[in-house]
Structure 1
Amino acid sequence: MTTEIPLDNPRSRTALFVASPKGAAFCRRLARRQLADWGLHSTHTEPFHCALLIVAELAANAITHGRIAGRGFELHLSLTTSVRRGTTLRIEISDPRGDRLPVLPAVHTPNAQTGRGLTLIDALCDRWGTIPRHPNSKTVWAELDLAPAAPTTPDVP
């Protein structure tokens, strides 16, 4: 069993939003500002834009498929460095519909106006999945590897 040991304290940000188009817009704006504050817009330009698209798609799914009247959704961003993975950006969106898990579609209808969000997320990130939350809610997460792990040097006798 391998345990990931963080080399420094993760930088993280969590915020709650109303499950509405305006809430999704605020979520995207906060993510853009936070990622820029962490310097991703200048040092990791492509992952910065991929992360913004992932946030947009996950927030859209939360307000479309994960909405329950009177309950919002949560964004959690974290930036960590570990021995095994290097620097990783993790994006999490939690919503109150644990009974509606995302499924990557096997086939797309050519003229459909919707249904490509998870396919985009799958193509843009290094890993993604879901985590059940109590009571009857879920978190959909996606990770982007920003910098590789430091190479290990063999022990020289």
Structure 2
Amino acid sequence: MKSEIPLDIATPRTHTTQLPASPKGAAVCRRIARHQLTSWRLDATATEPFHAALLIIAEFAANACTHGRLPGRRFELSLTLTTTPKGGTVLRIEVSDCRGDRLPVIPTTCTANSQTGRGLTLVDALADRWGTIPRLPNAKTVWAELDLPAHAPHAA
């Protein structure tokens, strides 16, 4: 059994980066997120939320590059690790793109032969909360939050 590391986050830990809205940008986003979550030692004892976070990030990045893309524009990944007033820990994932007119929607039907539409269904199942926030002038942020186990790790 891995040792538990007490959480001591006086201020939120945040990582934000901008990436090209392309398949390569989405791949780099996934690598950056894995590295950041590992540096916060989220993979050490909270393996289920670690893998859930990586799946959510992959889906949001793919959607930003597929549905939120405008030529020459970038998308933004933001990861925040905070403590709640009750002593819990929350990982917040945000991906922002420049297509505020295209909001994510969970499909009402998804068949075994569907080639698309499963991603947000997975996000809905994995995240404790998720949604969208408008960004001015015509952009959006898609966010998800994961409640972490009581003794989730953090960077020293």
TM-score above 0.5: yes
User: What is the identity, as a one-letter code, of the residue corresponding to 1:133?
Assistant: R
What is the count of residue pairs matched by the alignment? Answer: 143
TM-score scaled by structure 2? 0.88
> Unaligned stretches of 5+ in structure 2?
1-8, 151-156
Matched residue, 2:116: 114
State the superposition RMSD in angstroms.
1.4
Contact between 1:85 and 1:145, CA under 8 Å: does it hold in 2?
A: no
**Equivalence for 2:42:** 40
The answer as to 2:33 corresponding to 1:31 is yes
* Cα distance in 2 for residues equivalent to 1:85 and 1:118: 29
Correspondence list, 1:1-157, <5 A: 8-84=10-86, 86-148=88-150
Query: Which structure: larger Rg?
Result: 1
Q: In the TM superposition, what whole-angstrom CA distance separates every residue of 1:64-110 from its partner, at most 9, and x where no partner exists?
A: 00001110100000000011471000000000000000111121133
- Tell me the alpha carbon deviations over residues 101-155 of structure 1, each in whole angstroms, 9 at most, x when there is no partner: 011112113301111110000001100000000010000000000035xxxxxxx
Off by >4 Å, runs of 4+ in structure 1:
none
**Larger RCO, structures 1/2 (Cα 8 Å, 6+ apart):** 2
Unaligned stretches of 5+ in structure 1? 1-6, 149-157
Partners of 2:70 and 2:86 in 1: CA distance: 38
Identity between Structure 1 and Structure 2 (%): 68
